[in-house]
Structure 1
Amino acid sequence: MLLRPATADDVPALLDIHNDAVRRLAAIWTDKQETLAERQAWFHGRTGAGLPVIVAVDTAGTILGYGSYGPFRAKEGYRLTMEHSVYVTDAAQGQGVGKALLQRLIDEAKASGVHVLVGAIDAENATSIALHARLGFETTGRLPQVGFKFGRWLDLVLMTLILDAAPAPAAGTAV
């Protein structure tokens, strides 16, 4: 397996993985599948802002999954906190793809000066919660019934990883 930055040519595969997750999983809290144009806009928005979109590919070049992070919230006080997402094809589940992608995002976030990574995880996704815990994330919140999909209420678990011991920026300081 190889991890590499995604390219514009990868966007159709990213769209397939995303829409499969929308159809099958409670990981993305929407029933609306994206169009290619929407996923291209997402990709160019991320990469244009200098944010990573990483793909895992097998020896044949088939994309097995992808990961990215972006702003946790829009206000400037959150500018050093990012929320990440990792999605793996059904066929590649249980092969270490998700772990490799998440570790790469952690490494890239540290190198980019991100202070905290946040994972917002469906509370029923024990596999993802366990993976995050193995990589040092702590459960820092649970929001009951804040979303719904497949005809049921969903709880959201927030897991965070503090990436450095940097002091808070001085008041009024741009970072």
Structure 2
Amino acid sequence: MAIETKRAVLADLPRIVEIYNSTVASRQVTADTEPVTVESRTAWFNNHSDKRPIFLFLQDGETVGWLSFETFYGRRAYNKTVEVSLYLDEQFRGRGIGQQAVAMMKDIAATLDIETLLAFVFSHNTRALKLFGRNGFEEYGRLPDVAVMDGDKYSLSILGFKLD
């Protein structure tokens, strides 16, 4: 099934947080070790702008995931580079939505004067690595054992994609 995109508004933040929090316990997707709150993510949400937006992915009117574009490193020379975050509701994973979402991510980025997409993915998250790899992202680097969760160390892969 095809998905649609919609620019997120503050009223969407509870659903964004709900989807995000569904990934915390897996230790596959985020380095947060405890669920976050809507209140704790409000400033993060408000820091997004027309040039660094958050989009929802909708299927039959239901929010099934979200995408954010964030400023990379905060220096002017990196203005055309962004960090992307992609989260899907666990009930909708494995249905091809991720594939559609990454394609839409590229299309949206092209309208935002972005040249480089960066994705920071845990190196043990093979599902995400394969998804990005199938969509032309290359490994730009790897940070070994930089995260510690529950006493275990995890590496972080830095993936990149150059828009034409």
TM-based fold match above 0.5? yes
Report how far residue 132 of structure 1 moved: 0.8
Provide, for residues 129-156 of structure 1, a one-character-per-residue CA deviation record: whole Å limited to 9, x for no partner: 1111111111121111011223211111
RMSD: 1.5
Match of 2:36 among 34, 38, 42: 34
Q: Is the 8 A contact 1:55 1:101 kept in 2?
A: no
Q: Write the distance in 2 (CA, Å) between the matches of 1:55 and 1:98.
A: 12
Provide structure 1 residue ranges, at least 5 long, that are not aligned to the other structure: 165-175
Provide, for residues 57-111 of structure 1, a one-character-per-residue CA deviation record: whole Å limited to 9, x for no partner: 221x321111111112112222211010101111101112222222222111122
Task: Report the structure number with the largest CA radius of gyration.
Answer: 1
Q: Write the distance in 1 (CA, Å) between the matches of 2:67 and 2:108.
A: 11
Q: What percent identity do the matched residue pairs reach?
A: 26
Q: Write the distance in 2 (CA, Å) between the matches of 1:2 and 1:107.
A: 13
- Equivalence for 1:90: 90
Provide structure 2 residue ranges, at least 5 long, that are not aligned to the other structure: none
1:127-166 equivalent positions in 2, closer than 5 A: 127-164=127-164
Q: Which range moves more in the overlay, 82-91 or 15-24? A: 15-24
Q: Write the distance in 2 (CA, Å) between the matches of 1:51 and 1:22.
A: 24
1:65-144 equivalent positions in 2, closer than 5 A: 65-144=65-144
Report how far residue 52 of structure 1 moved: 2.0
The residue type paired with residue 32 of structure 2 is T
Q: Write the distance in 1 (CA, Å) between the matches of 2:50 and 2:18.
A: 23
Q: Write the distance in 2 (CA, Å) between the matches of 1:49 and 1:41.
A: 16
The residue type paired with residue 17 of structure 2 is L
* Partner secondary structure for residue 51 of structure 1: coil
Q: Is the 8 A contact 2:55 2:67 kept in 1?
A: yes
Report how far residue 49 of structure 1 moved: 5.2
Q: Write the distance in 2 (CA, Å) between the matches of 1:40 and 1:96.
A: 30
TM-score by length of 1: 0.85
Q: May I ask how many residue pairs the two structures share in their alignment?
A: 162
* Partner secondary structure for residue 86 of structure 1: strand
Q: Is the 8 A contact 2:51 2:112 kept in 1?
A: no
